[in-house]
Amino acid sequence: MATSVVSGLNSLSCISSFRNNKNTNVLLGRRRVLVFNLRRRGFYVSNVASDQKHKTKDSSSDEGFTMDVFQPDSTSVLSSIKYHAEFTPSFSPEKFELPKAYYATAESVRDMLIMNWNTTYDFYEKMNVKQAYYLSMEFLQGRALLNAIGNLGLTGPYADALTKLGYSLEDVARQEPDAALGNGGLGRLASCFLDSMATLNYPAWGYGLRYRYGLFKQLITKDGQEEVAENWLEMGNPWEIVRNDISYPVKFYGKVIEGADRRKEWVGGEDITAVAYDVPIPGYKTKTTINLRLWSTKLGAEAFDLRAFNDGNHAKAYEAQKKAEKICYILYPGDESLEGKTLRLKQQYTLCSASLQDIIARFEKRSGNAVNWDQFPEKVAVQMNDTHPTLCIPELLRILMDVKGLSWKQAWEITQRTVAYTNHTVLPEALEKWSFTLLRELLPRHVEIIAMIDEELLHTILAEYGTEDLDLLQEKLNQMRILDNVEIPSSVLELLIKSTENTVDVDKAEKQEEEEQQDEEGKDEETEAVKVETTKEEEETKVKKVKVEDPQAKIKRIFGPHPNRPQVVHMANLCVVSGHAVNGVAEIHSEIVKKEVFNEFYELWPEKFQNKTNGVTPRRWLSFCNPELSEIITKWTGSDAWLVNTEKLAELRKFADNEELQSEWRKAKRNNKMKIVSLIKETTGYVVSPDAMFDVQIKRIHEYKRQLLNIFGIVYRYKKMKEMSPEERKENFVPRVCLFGGKAFATYVQAKRIVKFITDVAATVNHDSEIGDLLKVVFVPDYNVSVAEVLIPGSELSQHISTAGMEASGTSNMKFSMNGCLLIGTLDGANVEIREEVGEDNFFLFGAQAHEIAGLRKDRAEGKFVPDPRFEEVKAFVRTGVFGPYNYEELMGSLEGNEGYGRADYFLVGKDFPDYIECQDLVDEAYRDQKKWTKMSILNTAGSSKFSSDRTIHQYARDIWRIEPVELP
């Protein structure tokens, strides 16, 4: 097969001709493939390999563009793939194996994306539309091939073309590595949003960093999790387009000087260059193709020290280049060291600086010769996905003031109208705080600007709360200041001192009036008695005067920095103060944000706070990853309209009891389970039964997500099985395959202990012949989007069991529910809304609620908590060494005691454990009735209509960005 294909490829030829410098025709064999027609400043691109095309034309201006939009057949697709196999080679010419087939196919698809991208870009430029820019440190895209051809409506032609070349589309698609640009839900949400923006024709771009080695590739060994660098870029990335002509300088360190015009200038320091790499993002069945612009960092050749190299000092020769390049090496480098903290800050500033410079350059280009900066917020919306891009606030202000010459007042107003902030966490450690000293050293001008914002905030707080109650004022400043434990600005200090002096003057006047009154009353008294009394009063007054504190000293004592506390910059506070909108990502989370996390700000600016419940794209997370179930849904709802209008999924409710639908539904689920069986065998070597219930928890490994509660439940189940006869086991327990997946951050020791514990339990249980297929435990290594696309369609029970009030939203719960998987979980994050939509009877609920958590922790600290005997039984069982020789005392100890860091069961595993295992009994009971279970599964899919990212993006566009869809002609 390979020889015949290569022979065909070698027979191809490429002929170029130029006609009067106006037309260029590129020929592929006898078939004309691409035509570039230069018309004044406009152009069009057409693929005429197929006659199946139609033409759209912008007739409003000769300066516009014309594009031939075509729907290729398998023959034209085949020609395109062959062309790229020969003329865009990433592999040697003598072979046409799967990797080469993938790259040629991807490059073929990319041609069409570039055509659409160019058209979209030109149209936005011409129309000068308002555009949203989504800044995120993560974009967890997954594989792009199937998603791209699915959105383009070309799955059939590409499958046919590859069949003619001897390969299946599925096998070719599996050659693609996942783009290592993200870690968890934050990044996947960003990618779902880009898909929805393009599908809904919203003018929007994403901005991120191009990580060379990703977060890490996870290996599971006998020692638990091990990390190695991702290799996703080693063979190149066919989806990206390097824009060598789009680069921006990014500066660190240096100093700030003031010019004769009093304009500040940031000089000296360390300079690097950020270069743009574009990844086209196609919409579903629309010509709109938006952009994900990723930044890579480098230095020019002049930075290479040739003299040092020739002297043999090779490390010194390329030291500067390596320092620049390493900024984009790793996602979230460990920040235990000063070097790690510095690198993280450099990453965040690089994203913000390069992106803002690019956004401003595009605004100026669209404005032409008449740049009106007051119109900037009318043309630009910047969304900060969590606090990582916070530095875009002082960076925008710096450019507007220092480079463009705007006043502070004007720049501040523009910035506040432009930026908005999405909060993704209530965990204190995740609300970023940076060392004031480090930030001042790395970004001296930005710290000056942040201090100006902090000063504005302080004046607002003083105006709101006054200066009468200094204790209240101190409390508000401690909670709301951006610069924590940093000197109060002089303008604020003067107001506080003045108010204190006024208070002292009033006190003195009142005392003087009281003394005069006492003198009048004592005139009739005997002279000696008056003298004695006066002497006493004078002595008391002297004492009082000694006790009166100097107002300035008093204010500095109350509000001045404490020498034993660190000076930090609260990035979340900076976001809330500077942005015009702050949103949570689920209804319960947004309430916690308003009532707890940012309550003081909410009381000050209630109009800023909104809820935008997360969503997921139904194209990738149902249609493309679960085609068999999608066909069933389309059949029973009457059309595939649900792909862009998930409200149509609700129509499944009226068929939930239909036996024909239930039969088809179970068959699809079974086929998806078989794919999981193959994945488990391939990645772990374990063999599991598809007849068992597939029970899955896949998400980042973190104590608050409580994988520990899940594995403790499994240990309890295993122990009870071991205490029963084979007949009793079969009668009491439904067979289960319990699957885990997720990465523990490399320096998060306790999370890595949990991974190790899960794998040790798996090694014991899976080799226990007495238990057999009644219970299997599997940790799927290196969990990513592609793994999720296999696990989610075949799962039957999914665990979302975080400590209530700690999960902002979650999106995997939405994906599972959309695919007909039942959920067991707490009332946390989006679980609350999912349960409302799918129905309380179709959701397995347990555990303490968010409003109870603080009281439960208080009870624990006071020694009032009494653990359930079953929980103690599990811990004792683990300590017997049944799961191997590893010492789990630190892990067990975190669940014990009443106080102390890493102890006292902060995440309430022990409190919720009895409720959890009793709820699991209800799961077993429901699963035994497959008719009932299937109905519940159908109702979960029907109830997921609310959780499309399309719906979420409509809300962002309407309420925060204030942009309109722009459909290309």
List C-alpha distances in Å: 899 to 648, 703, 744, 753, 903.
51, 17, 25, 21, 6
List C-alpha distances in Å: 68 to 55, 58, 117.
5, 11, 14
User: Catalytic annotation on 255?
Assistant: no
How far is it, in rounded angstroms, from Cα 154 to Cα 942?
A: 28
User: Catalytic annotation on 404?
Assistant: no
Place of tokens 């069009």: 44
Give the active site residue among 130, 800, 815, 860.
815
CB neighbour class for 339 (10 Å; exposed up to 12, middle 13-18, buried from 19): exposed
Identify which of 332, 350, 273, 423 has the alpha carbon closest to the alpha carbon of residue 138.
Answer: 332
User: Catalytic annotation on 700?
Assistant: yes
Give the active site residue among 297, 425, 811, 941.
811
Residue 941 and residue 636 in contact, taking contact as beta carbons nearer than 8 Å: no
Q: Which tokens is 793 given?
A: 């369609």
Contacts 24+ apart (CB under 8 A), 19-25: none
Place of tokens 């506070």: 573
CB within 8 Å of 773: residues ≥ 6 apart: 688, 689, 691, 692, 735
Identify which of 750, 741, 739 has the alpha carbon closest to the alpha carbon of residue 700.
Answer: 741
Give the active site residue among 82, 130, 424, 860.
424
CB within 8 Å of 50: residues ≥ 6 apart: 70, 71, 72, 73, 75, 76
Identify the DSSP state of 619. I
How far is it, in rounded angstroms, from Cα 43 to Cα 36?
A: 7
Q: Which tokens is 252 given?
A: 């660190």
Q: What is the dihedral of CA 822, 828, 829, 831, to 10 degrees?
A: 20
Give the active site residue among 188, 476, 699, 946.
699
Q: How many helices (H) and strands (E) does the chain have?
A: 38, 28
List C-alpha distances in Å: 723 to 17, 60, 165, 325, 729.
82, 81, 58, 58, 9
User: Catalytic annotation on 446?
Assistant: no
Pinpoint the alpha helices (H) of 12-97: 74-87
Q: Which tokens is 867 given?
A: 């653990």
CB within 8 Å of 532: residues ≥ 6 apart: none
User: Catalytic annotation on 931?
Assistant: no
Is residue 563 helix, strand or coil?
A: coil
Is residue 577 helix, strand or coil?
A: helix
Beta strands in 29-165 (DSSP E): 31-39, 42-47, 53-57, 66-70, 131-135
CB neighbour class for 691 (10 Å; exposed up to 12, middle 13-18, buried from 19): exposed
How far is it, in rounded angstroms, from Cα 498 to Cα 625?
A: 67
Residue 938 and residue 662 in contact, taking contact as beta carbons nearer than 8 Å: yes
Identify which of 598, 612, 828, 571 has the alpha carbon closest to the alpha carbon of residue 699.
Answer: 828
User: Catalytic annotation on 815?
Assistant: yes
Contacts 24+ apart (CB under 8 A), 867-874: 867/910, 868/910, 868/913, 868/914, 870/716, 870/913, 870/914, 870/917, 871/712, 871/910, 871/913, 871/914, 873/716, 873/719, 874/712, 874/715, 874/716, 874/719, 874/913
Q: Which tokens is 433 given?
A: 């705080």
Give the active site residue among 445, 705, 736, 951.
705
Give the active site residue among 130, 217, 287, 700.
700
Which residues are marked as active site? 424, 699-700, 705, 811, 815
